Amino acid sequence: MKTALIVTGLPASGKTTVARKISRSLSWPLLDKDDFLEALYDRHGVSDWAARKRLSRQSDVLFQHAACKLDHVVLVSHWRPSPDDPSGTPTEWLHHSFDHIAELHCSCTAKTAADRFLTRKRHPGHMDADRPSDLLFLQFERLETLYPLFPRNSFTIDTETTLYQTQLLAQVRALLTNR
């Protein structure tokens, strides 16, 4: 049975950190959309927001193709929380590609995510430094109300601190066996 554990949450909510731990613990492959995107940044360069957006959509396609080749996988991205939202990785393809989808939602406040976002260092192609902090906070505040994406088979962890880590693996295993 093809199974995907998708890790969701606001940008800078701890998705990649959590996904790496889970992937190692389950011995499942991990695909992070940013890895695909940053490879495209390196190959093509990013001159403006239009180029960045175009490369982001291309990386969505590469990410999806790689995921579909796997029987079980941990997937991390800034998933599109609404079909009307042009930002984020689309989710529609997941139901067509996997028999079972479980969601691990990383939850922190919009303020925490915005503070982390503004202080983290990522590939310059993301153009993070060009994002106004006040607008970023408002965007995150709106987005945080749209998670989890698949509430029927999801588990939410509070990533404000690292206290969540002790019980995480047992809870993820239970989520994956819930069909």
Q: How far apart are CA 60 and CA 169, in angstroms?
A: 28
Report the share of the chain in percent with pLDDT over 70: 89
Between these two residues, 140 and 166, which has the higher pLDDT value? 140
Range of the domain at 69: 3-177
- Across the range 83-107, mean pLDDT stands at 87
CATH code at position 57: 3.40.50.300
The pLDDT score that the predictor gives to residue 77 is 93
What's the whole-model pTM score?
A: 0.88
In the three-class reduction of DSSP (H, G, I as helix; E, B as strand; rest coil), residue 92 is classed as: helix
Helix (H) or strand (E) holding 123: none
Examine the pLDDT at 2 and tell me if it is beyond 90: yes
Q: What band does 178 get if pLDDT is binned at 50, 70 and 90?
A: confident
For residues 135-154, one letter each, b for 16 or more C-beta atoms within 10 angstroms of the residue's C-beta and e for the rest, the string is ebbebbeebbeebbbbeeeb
Tally the domains of the chain: 1
The whole-number pLDDT of residue 107 equals 94
Q: Which residue has the tokens 């389950």?
A: 26
Name the 3-class secondary structure at 116: helix
pLDDT tens, position by position, 110-146: 999 999 988 888 787 766 677 777 888 898 999 888 8
